[in-house]
Chains A and B, each alone.
Chain A
Amino acid sequence: MLLAAVHSAIQQQAFHVPNLDYHALAPEIVVSATLVVVLVADLFLAGARKWLLSNVAGWGLLVALIFTVELGARSHHASMVGGAYVVDDFALVFKGLFLAVGYIVLLMATRYIEEGDYFEGEFYFLLLCSLLGMVVMGSARDLITIFVALETLSIPAYMLAGWRKRDLKSNEAALKYYLLGVLASAVMLYGMSLVFGFTNSTLLTDIGKATQGSITKAPLVTLGIFFITVGFAFKVSAVPFHFWAPDTYEGSPTPVTAFLSVASKTGGFVALLELIYIGFIGRSDVWGPMFWVLAALTMTVGNLIALRQTNIVRLLAYSSIAQAGYILVPFAVAGSNTKSIHSAFTASVTYLLIYAAMNLGAFAIVIAVARKTRSGDIASYGGLYEYAPGLTVLMTIFLFSLAGVPPLAGAWAKIFVFRAVLDSPGSCGWIQCPTGTARPSACPPRCRPPSASPSWSSSSSASTPSSSPTSVMSHR
């Protein structure tokens, strides 16, 4: 935010205080205040009373969530610092999602952290920091704001991944995540600088206008868009940039894994949605084919490798890679015309919301079961129904939903994706992809088959674009 303000000041050659709508910023303010309180209180609380911090953090998130809902209910929209920071329905939906996910992760983590002899206070502080980054990401409409938000959400996550500090796997997780994350950031930043160099603006709307105009075909802009997309492909763990994900997910504390695979990934996608649909909508000739390849590879490789996993967390990791592939599919077909942009945008957003719910649910069950069995092996789920029928039924629902079986929500997510694909003209290149999640039916007492569900997905390469960049955001 600050950087964005500074930036806009430089542009206008004179500093003046940006006109902020504090009401619209309430969720960010509440989260920031809470994290400061948590950090400070951590210094003064004795070890036995650290659990209070979790409560404080939880209440903070809830209050922020209430503000978000209130802003949404009253359709309180705002555009600040020259359009770099926008509060609209899109932003509010994702802020709500991030806060809710954060709250649930907090609930999952509290006992895990308390029992595991880990640093407690810092954990909540870092979690809140990361969430703050995500909440800001929802509103970011400017390259620098996006970058700052991305780093705010990533850097605490690097540390959270290594929270089981005496566990080698956790160390490996954190290190891999950190190194590849930083690499991705560097690539992305380089791309951003190229784009900025040619468009002379960091505002996405300006970039959108510029990339549709005179400099459309500048090769370095193409390179910039390419780099930015690759950077985010790392963040959302799209194949072939996914190698960090399974190790990181397996090594991290499970609540953190849930957080990474849901919230952090959604954060990456939110940025991608903003960049592609506002900034680079005119250059679908560059990103269309890229997403086409990424989506096809991600779905296929993710699902196929998931089939061979014996560890539930690794399985879910590959499954969530595959799910990311589905979210990428609409991007591949978005560029054709206004209507297909709209339906592609809707499909990605719908998928993200549903994905968050079902994946988080699956991780919650994994944590609950691991607490008893102390094992992540899929084989250890045998007979789960005997001692935890409720968890079994829930796990069944989450896994079948991830597999996309109607009438569960996951099926609707996939239907929306298919619809987006079919909605784009020239959707001739249908490719077959094995879909779904590898599914360990921990569920029925004597039945635990790891299996995958085949289904079809189709993608098509994008053709010529023709749409005003901002229409998409307002459409939804």
Chain B
Amino acid sequence: MNFLDHWALSGAIFLPVIGAVLLGLVPRRSELTLKVGALLASLASLALVIYLIARFDFSHSGRFQFVANKQWIEVIHSRYHIGLDGISLPLLALSALITVLCVIYSWDHFPEPFNPKAFLILILVLATGMNGTFGSLDLILFFVFFELVLLPMYFMIGVWGGPNRQYAAIKFFLFTLFGSALMILSFLALYFKGGQTFDMIALRHTIAAASLPAATASLIFAGLFIGFAIKVPMFPFHTWLPDAHTEAPTVGSVILAAILLKLGTYGFVRIAIPILPKAAHTWAPWIGLLAVIGIIYGALGCLAQRDMKRLIAFSSVAHMGFVMLGIATLTSFGINAAVFGMVAHGLITGMLFFVAGSVQERYGTRELSRLGGMLLQAPRLGWILGFCAMASLGLPGLAGFWGEFPAILSAYQPAAGLSLVTFRVYMAVAAVGTVFAAGYLLWMLQRVDFGVVKSEFEHAHIHDLHVPEYLAWAPLLILIVALGVYPHLLFHITDGAVHAVTTGIHAATGVAAGR
């Protein structure tokens, strides 16, 4: 391994926060320096991620690569252990990309009360938290990064948010912290049951070797489940999401939707399921149930919304339902679909929130009943909204399709030992959910894009796309098409890694069946 192979991942994780510290030294007035600095820091991190992709050994995507394993907190045997496999690499890339795009989008879109310095610093700290979560292979390290994300997002919502921001920010914070508290207890339980290690990979073997009583494993899984399910968010834990999304500034919503929600699903795929496969097997039907409830509930919720952002937020609940359904099948097909769904949802919903932010900025409102005829006033923005709506409803040929369709399909044949009937019912319900998705997205499109311009905006001057918007959105739009036309691009990265996970599940549940 050469020097860069060794340090690129750490660099990708920590460059943003180093940038944030440096920005802290720049005076508040020199806005341009701040913006350029933030852009450079995020670009540097992205460049390293691209380097990692270039150097990644795709034929062994199930193996962890670019591993660094250094002593960190000796007393509790927690190590600085990072590495990438086929599951974390796409998500890391997504996170680094979205960070850059957010910095670009904010170029002259800083929300009230302005203060670019603090805002950019928060974005960069967020980036470190997100990248670090996807890179870490040690539970404590994971936990630290997972929580690091919380503070900047709390401030982003609480300071730059909409009128009801304080409520939303606290709700977001308390929900997530509640989940994390259970999560850390489960981590500690894993530590003590799994031979005093926090190493995610070692734990897979030591926990399997410890052959925990089913009740204990189930209880530990429950802690992890609540921690991650709140972040996803799954059905009964989703109530923080619409508020947080609606009140957050545009960039906050984008990061929240594109990356933060994935931290939860990633936690399932990386930690909960590989380490406790048997418990996952026991819980799978219930996870599946909550997932399909989420799909239908989210969709129905969308239909009742009057605020564009809130609608998109509820659609996130539905989409994450598909992701969780894929995960609940515990098959390599389903988990592949889930990882694809995470990336696709990140790209598409991120885009939708960008558009919603731009609409809000131009019209000063996101209320669907007041908008209309955007194609007449800002055709490009209107068509991009149409494109994203299509992608989001799962039109074949765009990225959204490859997240939803295989997830539904995988429910037809869940992992051995799971009830076929149950999952086929889930499949049917989820399929109905896609129809709802088409319903609410087209409804939104119709209300915003088509029809005539409402009288209050008839003489308003509505700008079409700005340069920063072009720059920020083009990569996302290109990726949505590229992944839609050629999904193999992503599937061939994830497949090996997912296979490594499912082999573990089969091994564990096979033993269970044999007993």
Determine whether B182 belongs to the interface, using a CB cutoff of 8 Å to chain A. yes
Q: Are A418 and B188 in contact (CB under 8 A)?
A: yes
Determine whether B144 belongs to the interface, using a CB cutoff of 8 Å to chain A. yes
Segment at the A interface, from B4-12, B148-156, B494-502: B148-156
Q: Are B158 and A444 in contact (CB under 8 A)?
A: yes
The 0/1 profile, CB within 8 Å of A marked 1, for residues 170-200 of chain B is 1001100110111011001101100000000
Known contacts A449-B166, A453-B177; A405 and B159 CB within 8 A of each other: no
Determine whether A197 belongs to the interface, using a CB cutoff of 8 Å to chain B. no
Which A residues are within 8 Å of any B CB, using their own CB? 346, 400, 405-407, 411, 415-416, 418-419, 422-423, 430, 435-436, 441, 443-449, 451-456, 458
Chain A residues within 8 Å of B185, by CB: 418, 422, 430, 456, 458
Partner of A456, one of B140, B143, B166, B182: B182
Q: Are B147 and A455 in contact (CB under 8 A)?
A: no
Known contacts A418-B185, A444-B159, A456-B185; A407 and B147 CB within 8 A of each other: yes
Instruction: Classify the secondary structure of B's interface with A.
Output: helix
Q: How large is the interface on B (under 10, 10 to 19, 20 to 34, 35 or more residues)?
A: 20 to 34
Q: Are B184 and A451 in contact (CB under 8 A)?
A: no
A140 to chain B: closest CB distance in Å? 27
Determine whether B512 belongs to the interface, using a CB cutoff of 8 Å to chain A. no
Known contacts A447-B159, A447-B166; A423 and B151 CB within 8 A of each other: no
Instruction: List residues of B (103-154) whose CB comes within 8 Å of A's CBs.
Output: 113, 140, 143-144, 147-148, 150-151
Partner of B181, one of A346, A407, A416, A455: A455
Partner of B148, one of A406, A422, A452, A454: A406
The 3 closest A-B pairs by CB, nearest first: A455-B181, A406-B147, A444-B159
Q: Are B192 and A423 in contact (CB under 8 A)?
A: yes
Q: Which interface residue of B165, B173, B178, B189 has the most chain A CB atoms within 10 A?
A: B173
Partner of B159, one of A411, A415, A445: A445
Chain B residues within 8 Å of A451, by CB: 170, 173-174
Question: What residue in chain A is nearest B196 (Cβ atoms)?
Answer: A423
B183 to chain A: closest CB distance in Å? 10
Q: Are B177 and A418 in contact (CB under 8 A)?
A: no
Complex CA gap A299/B166 in Å reads 26
Partner of A454, one of B140, B177, B188: B177
Chain B residues within 8 Å of A423, by CB: 192
Complex CA gap A444/B178 in Å reads 22
Q: Are B76 and A419 in contact (CB under 8 A)?
A: yes
Q: Are A441 and B177 in contact (CB under 8 A)?
A: no
Determine whether B169 belongs to the interface, using a CB cutoff of 8 Å to chain A. yes
List 24 A-B pairs, Cβ < 8 Å. Answer: A346-B75, A400-B151, A405-B150, A405-B151, A407-B144, A415-B184, A418-B184, A422-B189, A422-B192, A435-B181, A436-B177, A441-B158, A447-B159, A447-B169, A449-B158, A449-B169, A449-B170, A451-B170, A453-B173, A453-B174, A453-B177, A454-B177, A455-B181, A456-B185
Chain A residues within 8 Å of B191, by CB: 419, 422
Question: What residue in chain A is nearest B180 (Cβ atoms)?
Answer: A455
B114 to chain A: closest CB distance in Å? 11
Complex CA gap A454/B173 in Å reads 10
Chain A residues within 8 Å of B159, by CB: 444-447
Question: What residue in chain A is nearest B148 (Cβ atoms)?
Answer: A407
Chain A residues within 8 Å of B113, by CB: 445-446
A409 to chain B: closest CB distance in Å? 12
Which B residues are within 8 Å of any A CB, using their own CB? 75-76, 113, 140, 143-144, 147-148, 150-151, 155, 158-159, 165-166, 169-170, 173-174, 177-178, 180-182, 184-185, 188-189, 191-192
Q: Are B174 and A447 in contact (CB under 8 A)?
A: no
Complex CA gap A346/B178 in Å reads 25
Given A400-B151, A422-B189, A443-B155, 16 other A-B contacts at CB below 8 A? A346-B75, A405-B147, A406-B148, A407-B147, A415-B76, A415-B140, A416-B76, A418-B184, A419-B76, A444-B158, A445-B113, A445-B159, A449-B166, A451-B170, A453-B174, A456-B185
Q: Are B192 and A456 in contact (CB under 8 A)?
A: no
A329 to chain B: closest CB distance in Å? 13
Complex CA gap A449/B166 in Å reads 7
Chain B residues within 8 Å of A405, by CB: 147, 150-151, 177
Chain A residues within 8 Å of B76, by CB: 415-416, 419
Q: Which interface residue of B174, B177, B181 has the most chain A CB atoms within 10 A?
A: B181
Known contacts A423-B192, A456-B181; A411 and B174 CB within 8 A of each other: no
Chain A residues within 8 Å of B182, by CB: 456
A192 to chain B: closest CB distance in Å? 35
Complex CA gap A418/B185 in Å reads 7
Complex CA gap A456/B143 in Å reads 15
A381 to chain B: closest CB distance in Å? 14
A114 to chain B: closest CB distance in Å? 33
Chain B residues within 8 Å of A444, by CB: 155, 158-159
Question: What residue in chain A is nearest B140 (Cβ atoms)?
Answer: A415
Question: What residue in chain A is nearest B78 (Cβ atoms)?
Answer: A415
Q: Are B147 and A411 in contact (CB under 8 A)?
A: yes
Question: What residue in chain A is nearest B160 (Cβ atoms)?
Answer: A444
Complex CA gap A452/B181 in Å reads 13
Question: What residue in chain B is nearest A415 (Cβ atoms)?
Answer: B184
Question: What residue in chain B is nearest A386 (Cβ atoms)?
Answer: B113
Q: Are A454 and B174 in contact (CB under 8 A)?
A: yes
B263 to chain A: closest CB distance in Å? 14
A440 to chain B: closest CB distance in Å? 12
Complex CA gap A269/B147 in Å reads 30
Chain A residues within 8 Å of B174, by CB: 451-454
Chain B residues within 8 Å of A346, by CB: 75
Q: Which interface residue of B150, B165, B184 has the most chain A CB atoms within 10 A?
A: B184
Q: Are B189 and A406 in contact (CB under 8 A)?
A: no
Complex CA gap A411/B177 in Å reads 12
B26 to chain A: closest CB distance in Å? 14
